[in-house]
Amino acid sequence: MSSINLIDSFQEFKDFKNIDRPTVISVLEEVFRSMLRKRFGTDENCDVIVNPDNGDLEIWRTRTVMENGFSEDDDLEIELLDAHKIDPDLEVGDDFIEQITLESFGRRAILAARQTLVSKILELEKDEIFKNYKDRVGEIVTGEVYQVWKKETLVLDDEGNELILPKTEQIPADYFKKGDSVRAVVYKVEMLNSNPRIIISRTAPEFLQRLFELEVPEIFDGLITIKKIVREPGERAKVAVESYDDRIDPVGACVGMKGSRIHGIVRELKNENIDVINFTANISLYIQRALSPAKITSIKLDDETMRAAVYLKPDQVSLAIGRGGHNIKLAGKLTGYEIDVYRESTEEEEDVDLEEFSDEIDGWIIDEFRKIGLDTAKSVIALTAAELVKRTDLEVETVEEVLGILRSEFE
């Protein structure tokens, strides 16, 4: 029967959105039953038959044949006289079955039904996307950059679903333009005004973990376990790993021959430094490994306050702290201890190289002192501010600030 393009258009829409067949039939039936209720007051005596193969639709309505003048409800009953106009063989008590065509509902009702179909299928699709991605939180997805805004980037997956990559979830060195391929982890899925909002992230620890699972078969197979990951996105990351098989070196397996396995991860993370550490239940040893590449002389733990006092030789302090303090900060997050660094000083090691202050004093300022032969803290302190200003190209405020930093070291 003719459906005035209602079923055909819906069928195309269904195929495009990839909604399963039983759901399509259920939606179709519900929409047409709603039309029947509006027109006849009830759909209890109606059968809606949808052909799952081609989308053809049939609607059959059944009413009980009553004696003339005894019909009380025209929606459920039909008088014998009216029934005989269609089928003269019918008798009182028989079922009068008639086919309802879509055209009989009128063009306005059909257009309304079509709009309802589109609306319902959109709702179904949104629910399907939400459920699908809700189950994929923590998984890596690959998409194509569709649009770049100031605070977020719109990414489309293989099926054209919209994924949001906020600026806060991007590595600082990330730069995207339309058409770029981007990998990220599904971070959060939420419903906002009945629309699914899928947040993806490149800064979450889970992203680094999934990259390791892709690059290191032993992790994927469960032979090596990642105990914990901490990150300063784009700067540094520390990954604690453990192997339950004594024959497997977890650190070596993660790094690969000549760094072959970890290089791909580093490139994906825009040259983020990754320290892979062998996990141990020995806290002192764990903290020592976490502060790598610095070599610790001794360590004192306070388990009540969860603090660790770490003593190092002067040339190891800057390594322990790391550029921008990232190394010591991540070591603290990895181990769960607040780490305090102390410089071990002896008679011979009382002076400190200016490079040790690179976190507090800019490199170009240190270079200015080196040009006039001053490469240690005490050699700078030995001169007055006026002499230093005269011999360098530095402003007096800068010199006084540097002297304050250096003098505090020996107080």
Q: What is 334-352 written as a DSSP string?
A: HHS-EEEEEE---STT-S-
CA distances (Å), origin 54, targets 47, 50, 110, 116, 124: 18, 9, 19, 20, 21
- Considering the domain architecture, whether residues 63 and 162 belong to the same structural domain is answered as no
CA within 13 Å, CB half, 395: 3
Residues forming a β-bridge with 48: 59
Tens of pLDDT along the chain (411 residues) come to 344 445 554 555 545 455 666 777 787 788 888 888 888 888 888 888 877 666 577 888 888 888 887 777 777 888 888 888 888 888 888 888 888 887 777 788 778 877 877 787 788 888 888 988 999 999 999 999 999 999 999 999 998 899 999 999 999 999 999 999 999 999 999 988 888 999 999 999 999 999 999 999 999 999 999 999 999 999 999 999 999 888 899 999 999 898 899 999 999 999 999 999 999 999 999 999 999 888 898 999 998 999 999 998 877 888 888 888 899 999 999 999 999 988 776 544 567 888 888 888 888 898 888 888 788 888 888 888 888 888 888 889 999 998 988 888 776
Long-range contacts of the stretch 33-42 (C-beta < 8 A, 24+): 34/113, 34/116, 35/105, 35/109, 35/113, 36/61, 36/100, 38/109, 39/105, 39/109, 40/75, 41/75, 42/75, 42/76
* Residue 149 pLDDT: 94
| Listed residue (352, 288, 341) closest to 314, CA to CA | 352
In a domain, 33, yes or no: yes
Whether 279 is covered by a domain: the verdict is no
CATH code of the domain containing 194: 2.40.50.140
Residues 118 and 31 in one domain: yes
Please give the pLDDT value at position 2: 42
Q: Are residues 30 and 88 in the same domain?
A: yes
Amino acid in position 58: E
Q: Which amino acid is residue 371, in one-letter code?
A: K
Residue 315 lies in a domain: no
Rg, the chain, Cα only: 37
Are 106 and 34 contained in the same domain? Answer: yes
Domain boundary at 131, 158, 180, which?
131
pLDDT, position 4: 43
Q: What is the DSSP letter of 139?
A: -
Same structural domain, 101 and 198:
no
Confidence (pLDDT) at 119: 81
C-alpha separations of 179 from 148, 149, 155, 159, 184 in Å: 10, 14, 9, 15, 16
Q: How far apart are CA 54 and CA 239, in angstroms?
A: 55
Q: Is residue 397 part of a domain?
A: yes
Residue 16 shares a structural domain with residue 68: yes
Quote the CA–CA distance of 10 and 55 in Å, as a whole number: 9
pTM: 0.65
Same domain, residue pair 113 and 175: no
Domain count along the chain: 3
Residue 321 belongs to some domain of the structure: no
Residues 63 and 158 in one domain: no
Asked whether residue 236 is domain-assigned, the answer is no
217 inside domain:
no
Give the per-residue pLDDT at 160. Answer: 87
Is residue 91 located within the same domain as residue 192? no
Considering the domain architecture, whether residues 122 and 144 belong to the same structural domain is answered as no
Q: Is residue 303 part of a domain?
A: no
Do 16 and 101 sit in the same domain of this protein?
A: yes
Q: Are residues 90 and 165 in the same domain?
A: no
CA nearest to 196, candidates 133, 140, 144:
133
- pLDDT at position 3, please? 46
Instruction: Report d(CA 50, CA 55) in Å as an integer.
Output: 6
> Exposed, middle or buried by CB within 10 Å (0-12, 13-18, 19+), for 330?
buried
Of the three residues 107, 131, 155, the one that is the final residue of a domain is 131
CATH number at residue 29: 3.30.1480
Confidence (pLDDT) at 136: 93
Query: Which of 203, 230, 246 is the endpoint of a domain?
Result: 203
What is the span of the domain harbouring residue 194?
136-203
